[in-house]
Structure 1
Amino acid sequence: MTVTMGIDIGTFEAKGALVDASTGRLLAQARRPHEMRVPRPGWAEHDAEADWWGAVTHLSQALLAQSGLGGRDVKALAVSAIGPCCLPVDRDGHPLRAGILYGVDTRAGAEIAELNARLGEERILSLAGTALNSQAVGPKILWIARQEPGNWARTVRLHTATSFVLERLTGAFAMDRYTAGSWAPLFDQTRGEWSDDLHGLCAPEQLPRLLWSAEIAGEVTAAAARATGLAPGTPVTTGTIDAAAEAVSVGVRRPGDTMVMMGSTVFVIQIARAPVRDPRLWAAPWLVPGRHAAMAGLATSGTLTQWLRGLLAPDLPREEAFAALSAEAEASPPGARGLVCLPYFSGERTPIHDPLARGVFFGLDLTHGRGDLMRAALEGIAAATRHIAETFAEAGSPVGRIMAVGGGTRNPVWLQATADMIGLPQELRRLTFGAAYGDAFLAARALDLAHEDDIDTWNPPVRQVAPHHRPVYDRHWAVFRQLYDRTADLMHETTRWANPSDQPGSSPGSASP
């Protein structure tokens, strides 16, 4: 039996999987929770030592202990993580501050505006294949240089979460091209390499070497072996962003294939025949040469249901509260009895890219109950996902097959509402363990133990969720689409009232590492 290991570091939890690479059988699985820190409105951070490296060491040891296998039994490791993140480290690889997270961190609004004005929005889109928004790393690098000059003066290398872990495991300084695609305006999508002109944001030697996700980037060092339980010399792949590994785990690989990941946020990845250049979407090379990806993501999804749980059922244990609210949401009819929710409770990413947008429950009356509120929230998330699907079509890359994955697939209202809103069936696979399983598959591919089509054997389709209530949701959709346009100016005004000194893009006088 040949065994591969996959580890994924998510926003609130890390997961690990040990897999028999000949069959795809899951041999062991483990989880480790952690927190996302929000030190100021619009900021989102992780502790790279505790949350990223700590997850890898803990889960590797837990998987080996659970399975009864030794470190030498693991033939390759692949790690994925949230991304794109921005972490400056010193000469010895020590983090100089907390890791700045992906698009949910909106601190660099002023830097986005400055770079757009200096470089030109069309030029950035043409070069990088994506517009500057909160997902882009370039403005966050500029933010660190401007607001934390002491940290910036000591910065020798710039990492995302996967490259930081890769360096700890192997000593290699490398990143996959899919992740690099989000480091606008530093990435040249036409060439698939860092741009010749880095626009004064950093030095070339501060950026990782670029590889493909399933390439072997290095081998586990003696120090990393002691920390993880793996054998020295174990091959480690370059790694990738968690959503991409999750897409791999459910068979997304052909043009038109689209993953809808229902988790803390909704993230959508579509495989495209050619680069998709639309300022409302994100674009990057796919995990293998010759293919492309178009991406989109909401800012608030599962985090909204978590917030509602605490608000509507504060005295119940977490699982019991979710069970009660889910049952009440199912009892509420499609359309939530006229209640419409804009799920912009942390601003919004694609396609409106508005960090000042805010959440709305519209149409409330005294007969609505908490089940209606929960259903409206789930339907609002589904409507925002439809907005993404329609944006793909408008960009010339319509959605084909939809593969649904993530914790939200266990919520029947969320799952059905998404199918109904988009108007296409969603395919579910046997395993929904997610990115860690996809990582184990990528590790097997790196050793030539699996072909990309073998994922259908590893994790076959088991059912489809077909649309049923399209007419109801078409009416709902019409209100949803108009509601933001009619209230956006008021959202912006009240957001500024609430946090006059903490707007995205505002800059504190000093910040601690």
Structure 2
Amino acid sequence: MAIVAGVDFGTLSVRVSIVDSERGLLASAVSEYPLHRKREDPDFATQSHADHMRALADATRQAVKSAGIPGDQIASIALDTTGSSVIPVGEGMVPLDDYYLWCDHRAKLEAALITELARIEKLKAIDWCGGIYSSEWGFAKLLHWLRHNPEKRGKFVSAFEHCDMVAATLCGITDPRLVKRSVCAMGHKWMWNASLGGLPPESFLAKVDPVLAGARDKLEGDYATSDKIAGTLSAEWAEKLGLRAGIPIPVGAFDAHWDAIGAGAKEGDVVNVVGTSTCIIAYAAKAQLIPGVCGVVPGSVHPQFTGIEAGLSATGDIFSAIARRAGTTVEELSKGLDKYRAGQTGLLRMTWDNGDRTVLVNPNLGGMTIGWNLVHTAQDELFAAIEGTAFHTRVILDRMSEYGAPTQRVINGGGVPQNNPVLNQVYANVLGRPVLVPSGKVTGLGSAIFAFMAAGAFRTIAEAQDKICPKHSVYEPQPETQSTYATLYDLYRKIYFEFGNPERSPFGNVLPKLIQIARG
């Protein structure tokens, strides 16, 4: 028997779950931290490392207390985080600035520059992340920071993904070169690929912008999968967390990837981790490159498989925005949605409010609703938005299937499906296949499973999943909806590719032009 702590850093809070290898989840606790936004710049999104660590200490102590166990019984602690959430550091791993959070899209120009040069130079690494580099990813954010902080360049020593920074802090590591770097994080967001020699060549990075000269060397280190140990908990942080010093901390990963493991995903499954955004996660023994899909990385998700990541840049955030504009909450606005029938609203809602992550990888888009009349309500828009996120998900699953990654099961994980049966039913209807939903919360269970592996409590991840993961409720497609949703999906695809791709259609310039005009 072993007891571990599984940590999940989300966009607005951190959750710490105390899990027993025999009894399952004992207790969990949540502590919030501020997200810094600017009304005049909707692409701006940052958070403080100090806020994260304060919240982690608070949530860990709360969770241990609620579990009714002494802290020294915790055998291991593992953590996942958002990403790409990037922080520049100076000597001694001291932050030079706040994190560029995953949803910070200021680096659009930098991402476009990286994509353009990668295509000219025929950089093979770009093919492994769908052929387009995103403003949500590491090198774009680092370049944006270097360009806009010339006074700090002389102090710049390295940059880290959130999961690696937190693990290094907990282990008391102060030399950047001794920090284990997550293959999951660096493979999906920084174009790291073992078969291609690691990171993109120095010559390529310096050609993107001279301020990136030397960056490759500063990002060198020990790149490792999550079955490896990042270090052990330092005495300083053991005291702050109320745990025992010396317990192992495995190499971290992205929250959605470990949420997929916690949701019970096996090879051939696709997990929609639906929260503020959606991450679509799968893994396979072998996977070929998929255009527009933001990462095919050996060793991510499950260390013995190749991880595949795609997603929507906003999901729950869209639902919240609709409710906020109506002066209410999503919970209140959702009452009565179960009475809606497929296509009842006459609306098609394009879910680009925060740009397109997959398959267009285009941040220069905005949300769009087609079909308004004078009596439509906010509730109509909410239902159409649920349908829209389902249609967008189907676009992605169709692309994955087209390139040799068919879906055997669909699991709706994350926080939103736990509280939204209408969404789960709409997804089953739109996708035309059963949708499985874990019967209990899985946030933090993936972290707990990797903590158990670090503590030697289970022989395999599958063994841990069978013991720890909850059973699934099943939503079957409703036959009476299939014809309507087939027709609506055809319309959605036409609008998606016509308005979302400026290289394909003149309509593709409409939304980027509106954004440009709005910003003066």
- TM normalised by structure 2 equals 0.89
Alignment correspondent of 2:3: 3
Map Cα deviations across residues 427-471 of structure 1 (whole Å, 9 max, x no partner).
Answer: 22232232x111011110122212222212322423211111222
Whether 1:227 aligns to 2:228 is no
Contact 1:128–1:188 (Cα < 8 Å) also in 2: no
Q: Residues 42-61 of structure 1: matches in 2 within 5 Å? A: 42-50=43-51, 52-61=52-61
1:355 and 1:64, CA in 2 relative to 1: closer, same or farther beyond 3 A? same
- Give yes or no for contact 1:125–1:277 (8 Å, CA) kept in 2: no
Matched, 1:179 2:209: no
The answer on whether the counterparts of 1:357 and 1:488 sit within 8 Å (CA) in structure 2 is: no
Alignment of 1:188-199 (within 5 A): 188-190=193-195, 193-195=198-200, 197=202, 199=205
Q: Structure 1 residues 334 and 243, CA, compared in 2 at 3 Å: closer, same or farther?
A: same
Residue 288 of structure 1: how far off its partner (Å): 4.4
Query: Residue 389 of structure 1 aligns to a residue in which SS?
Result: helix
Alignment of 1:125-144 (within 5 A): 125-126=124-125, 129-130=128-129, 131=131, 132-144=133-145
**Partner of residue 362 from structure 2, selected from 351, 354, 361:** 354
- For 1:257, the equivalent position in structure 2 comes to 269
Aligned residue in 2 for 1:29: 28
Change (3 A) 1:26 1:242: same
CA distance, structure 2, for counterparts of residue 265 and residue 217 of structure 1: 28
After superposition, what is the alpha-carbon deviation per residue over 1:129-150, rounded to whole angstroms, capped at 9, x for unaligned? Answer: 1131223311222222222122
Aligned to 1:503: none
**Match runs of 1:497-508 below 5 Å:** 497-500=517-520
Q: Deviations over 1:380-408 (max 9, x none)?
A: 11111111111111222122211111222
Matches within 5 A, 1:261-410: 261-282=273-294, 283-285=296-298, 286-314=300-328, 321-409=329-417, 410=419
CA 420–189 in structure 1, closer or farther in 2 if over 3 Å, else same: farther
1:328-351 CA-partner distances (Å, limit 9, x unpaired): 322332213311111111122111
Q: Is the 8 A contact 1:169 1:221 kept in 2?
A: yes
Structure possessing the higher relative contact order (Cα contacts under 8 Å, 6 or more residues apart): 1
CA distance in 2, matches of 1:347, 1:196: 29
Structure-2 separation of matches of 1:392 and 1:122? 26
The match for 2:482 among 470, 495, 498 is 470
* Native 8 Å contact 2:81 2:253 kept in 1: yes
Paired residue type of 2:257: A
Report the AA paired with residue 393 of structure 2.
Answer: T
Q: Deviations over 1:161-182 (max 9, x none)?
A: 1111111100341222111112
Give the corresponding residue for 1:506: none
User: What SS does the aligned partner of 2:83 have?
Assistant: coil
Superposition deviation, residue 498 in structure 1: 0.7
- What is residue 146 of structure 1 aligned with on the other side? 147
Q: Secondary structure of the equivalent of 2:195?
A: coil
**Match of 1:249, as an amino acid?**
G
Cα separation, 1, equivalents of 2:336 and 2:368: 20
Compute the displacement of 1:260 (Å): 0.7
Deviation at 1:191, TM superposition (A): 5.5
Structure-to-structure mapping, 1:86-101, within 5 angstroms: 86-101=86-101
Cα distance in structure 2, aligned partners of 1:175 and 1:55: 23
Counterpart of 2:84 in structure 1 is 84
SS of the residue corresponding to residue 44 of structure 2 reads coil
Is 1:237–2:244 an aligned residue pair? no
| Structure 1 residues 175 and 128: CA distance shift in structure 2, 3 A | farther
Pick which of 131-140 and 225-234 moved more: 131-140
What is the rounded CA distance, in whole Å, between the counterparts of 2:149 and 2:380 in structure 1? 46
Equivalence for 1:457? 467
Structure 2: gaps (5+ residues) = 174-178, 207-211, 500-506
Return the alpha-carbon distance in structure 2 between the equivalents of residues 492 and 193 of structure 1.
Answer: 34
Q: Tell me, yes or no, if the aligned pair for 2:323 and 2:378 is still in contact at 8 Å.
A: no
Matched residue of 1:336: which SS?
Answer: coil
In 1, are the aligned partners of 2:281 and 2:308 still within 8 Å (CA)? yes
Residues 309 and 121 of structure 1, relative CA distance in 2, 3 Å threshold? farther
Counterparts of 1:374 and 1:386, CA distance in 2 = 19
Work out the CA distance in 2 between the residues paired with 1:128 and 1:444: 35
Instruction: Quote how far apart the aligned CAs of 1:221 are.
Output: 0.8
Deviations 1:9-49 (A, max 9, x none): 011221110000234x1111111223332232322222121
Whether 2:167 is the aligned partner of 1:162: answer no
The amino acid that maps onto 2:87 is L
How far, CA to CA, are the matches of 2:257 and 2:62 in structure 1? 24
SS of the equivalent of 2:436 reads: strand
Cα distance in 1 for residues equivalent to 2:81 and 2:172? 18
Provide the C-alpha distance between the structure 2 equivalents of 1:340 and 1:64, rounded to a whole number of angstroms.
47
Q: 1:126 to 1:240 in 2, by over 3 A?
A: closer
Alignment of 1:115-130 (within 5 A): 115-120=114-119, 123-126=122-125, 129-130=128-129
The one-letter amino acid paired with 1:88 is P
Shift of residue 290, structure 1, vs aligned partner: 4.0
- Tell me, what secondary structure is at the counterpart of 1:236? strand
Instruction: Measure the CA separation in 1 of the matches of 2:126 and 2:489.
Output: 35
Residues 474 and 192 (structure 1 numbering): CA distance in 2 closer, same or farther, change over 3 Å? farther
TM-score (norm 1): 0.90
Alpha carbon RMSD of aligned pairs, Å?
Answer: 2.0
Taking a change above 3 Å as real, the CA distance of residues 269 and 118 of structure 1, as seen in their structure-2 partners, is same
Q: Would the aligned equivalents of 1:80 and 1:439 in 2 still touch at CA under 8 Å?
A: yes
Residue 302 (structure 1) shift: 0.1
- Letter of the 2:495 counterpart: L
**Helix, strand or coil: the match of 2:123?**
helix
Q: CA deviation at 1:203?
A: 4.0
Distance 1:122 1:292 in 2: 26
Q: Are the counterparts in 1 of residues 248 and 454 from structure 2 also a CA contact under 8 Å?
A: no
Secondary structure in structure 1 of the residue aligned to 2:491: helix
Return the alpha-carbon distance in structure 2 between the equivalents of residues 126 and 160 of structure 1.
19
Question: 1:240-280 CA deviation, whole Å, 9 max, x = no partner?
Answer: 110111011012231x2211111101110111232432330
Indicate the SS of the match to 1:444: helix
- C-alpha change, 1:478 and 1:433, in structure 2 (3 Å) is same
- 1:182, 1:87 → 2: CA distance? 17
Q: Mark the runs of 5 or more structure 1 residues left unpaired by the alignment.
A: 315-320, 501-513
Equivalent-residue separation in structure 2 for 1:324 and 1:271 (angstroms): 37
Q: Match for 1:70: what amino acid?
A: P
Classify 1:114/1:462 alpha carbon distance in 2 versus 1 (closer, same or farther; 3 Å). closer
Residue correspondences, number: 488
Q: 1:236 to 1:391 in 2, by over 3 A?
A: same
Separation in structure 1 between the aligned mates of residue 221 and residue 429 of structure 2, nearest angstrom: 43
